[in-house]
Chain A
């Protein structure tokens, strides 16, 4: 085989991909053993072929399986799986911990004074207003909690802050909001804020020493609709 024939028949490319017959291959090898240009061509074509094979192999392995599920694909990537689990954890935490916490009662500046069950006309709260209430409170005489956690000056003993359990219930006695709040000092009213929107109706606030403990105070109020505003 001479050089012109080798070029014309593109022997170097065909040699690199094994496309020559046995006799053609031997003839071409005999030629390029003496021809620097053809040997460079063979070397280049072989290098291209080997690297192209590697590129196609990598791409084939990198391509996702067509029938794999979303979860399979997700967990094939550890970083994405970790991010998804962390995101799901945040959502669960917000729904189970953060949001109920925001709905629990807490101390606040009173806006509506509740005088206990003795008042004839119930205090009224407008449906759109923030539910801030103030109600009388005192530890019952001989209360273990009151005597244990307060010293003679009325200041809390140690770091433990005395708490009471507060529950807001609707007309049927169903709890709307509940939780522990800090107990007020002696001769101080209990100030509460309920971060809930109430529909019109009668509601009752019950204060207990703890969740299943003795009832210490009870007051009722009425939520009026916006249309029922009094001048």
Chain B
């Protein structure tokens, strides 16, 4: 099963300037570029530059250029454009000779890339998930996330294999997801309930006024 959302119709609407499609395009690939460049520890200012230049080039290619050959793989096309933009910006910012394609991107440890996605509410949920784990599992995640120790070293130290570590991460993430969904659906239900109460009170008030006037 694939979860592709792009097709020829989507690309056509984007090329024609449909506002909803443009909005989706901007939101979806802004998120994609953030996730992609965050994993490479690119500085936030650079991420913003890559995002703007990538979206601009893609729209230009659709509206003034040759368009895309495989609309169903429109995401891959945007991904390729972002790779080129990142490479160009890196070369432009570097005073040294261009790097090989295989050279890993330099990490910028001065910036806190996590700040954008850390909130008190999320920390509370994650803390609850962590506290629900066994001591050993919690220690594994601490070594992975906080100590940033090599996975094989963690496995050797705590006598687990890499699959166990991945499954543990997957389960912890799933629990966090469930808590997140539960919390937000509860908030949504509460908001709906308050709205309904206000609406019904307004209705009763309106009826009362009508009855008195008649």
Residues in chain A within 8 A of chain B (CB atoms):
2-4, 10, 13-19, 22, 25, 29-30, 32-39, 41-58, 60
Return the chain B residue nearest A26 by Cβ.
Answer: B83
Q: Are B118 and A54 in touch, CB under 8 angstroms?
A: yes
Interface flag for B35 (CB, 8 Å): yes
What are 23 pairs between A and B in contact, CB < 8 Å? A4-B1, A10-B169, A10-B170, A17-B144, A19-B166, A30-B79, A32-B32, A34-B2, A34-B75, A39-B28, A39-B35, A44-B173, A44-B176, A46-B38, A46-B117, A47-B117, A47-B176, A48-B176, A52-B130, A55-B126, A55-B130, A56-B142, A56-B146
Return the chain A residue nearest B146 by Cβ.
Answer: A56
User: Chain A residues with Cβ under 8 A from B118's Cβ?
Assistant: 50-51, 54
User: Chain A residues with Cβ under 8 A from B76's Cβ?
Assistant: 30, 33-34
Q: How distant is A36 from chain B, measured CB to nearest CB, in Å? A: 5
Return the chain A residue nearest B169 by Cβ.
Answer: A13
Interface flag for B183 (CB, 8 Å): no
The binding surface of chain B is classed by DSSP as helix
Q: Are A3 and B145 in touch, CB under 8 angstroms?
A: no
Q: Which of B3-11, B13-21, B42-50, B201-209 contacts A (4 or more CB under 8 A)?
A: B3-11
Q: Are B3 and A17 in touch, CB under 8 angstroms?
A: no
Residues in chain B within 8 A of chain A (CB atoms):
1-6, 28, 31-32, 35-36, 38-39, 72-76, 78-79, 102, 104, 114, 117-119, 122-123, 125-127, 129-130, 141-142, 144-146, 151, 166-167, 169-170, 172-173, 176-177, 180
Given contacts A46-B117, A54-B114, contact A29 B36 (CB under 8 A): yes
- Selected contact of A33 from candidates B39, B79, B117, CB within 8 Å: B79
Q: Are A51 and B117 in touch, CB under 8 angstroms?
A: yes
State in angstroms the CA–CA spacing of A2 and B76 once bound together.
Answer: 13
Given contacts A50-B118, A52-B141, A53-B114, contact A43 B31 (CB under 8 A): yes
State in angstroms the CA–CA spacing of A47 and B129 once bound together.
Answer: 13
Given contacts A25-B39, A53-B146, contact A33 B173 (CB under 8 A): no
